[in-house]
Amino acid sequence: MEELITIKWNGKLKVRRTKAGRILVKINRISAWLLLIFMIIFIISGYAWWNMTLLPLHLARRLHTEPDLLLVFFFLVHVLISTRFTLARWRVGNSRLVDMLLLAAGLSFFWLVLSIR
């Protein structure tokens, strides 16, 4: 199943996405927004932990160290979906093979983070 269907009409290039492509775009945008929220919390809590201002010390430490797995998860989701769309746009490789390789890379990176933690 091809994700992007290109149609040339009157000299203009139009792109239509399939249902799976639209769902992936929504997941990518949601993960980007959640990643932004977690990064803001991460930066503010790190600043508060270092300078002992803005938040109590125990709360700053907890906010800085607890959601790190969520941060890594949303980062991987956002990067892997964006990489998939970029490779599809450049027409690199078989789409199923690219999907499997990206999924394997994402799972191995997440497993690596879990093993370090």
- Alpha-carbon separation of residue 38 from 2, 10, 75, 77, 78 (angstroms): 33, 45, 10, 14, 13
Rounded (10°) CA dihedral 97, 99, 104, 106: 150
pLDDT at 51 over 50: yes
Q: According to the model, what pLDDT value does residue 44 have?
A: 95
User: Domain spans of the chain?
Assistant: 19-116
Average pLDDT over residues 14-22: 75
Q: According to the model, what pLDDT value does residue 56 have?
A: 93
Give the helix/strand (H/E) hosting 9. Answer: strand 4-9
CB 32 within 8 A of CB 77: no
CB 3 within 8 A of CB 88: yes
Q: According to the model, what pLDDT value does residue 26 have?
A: 96
pLDDT in tens, 69-104: 999 999 999 999 999 999 988 988 888 999 999 999
CB 34 within 8 A of CB 63: no
pLDDT at 61 over 70: yes
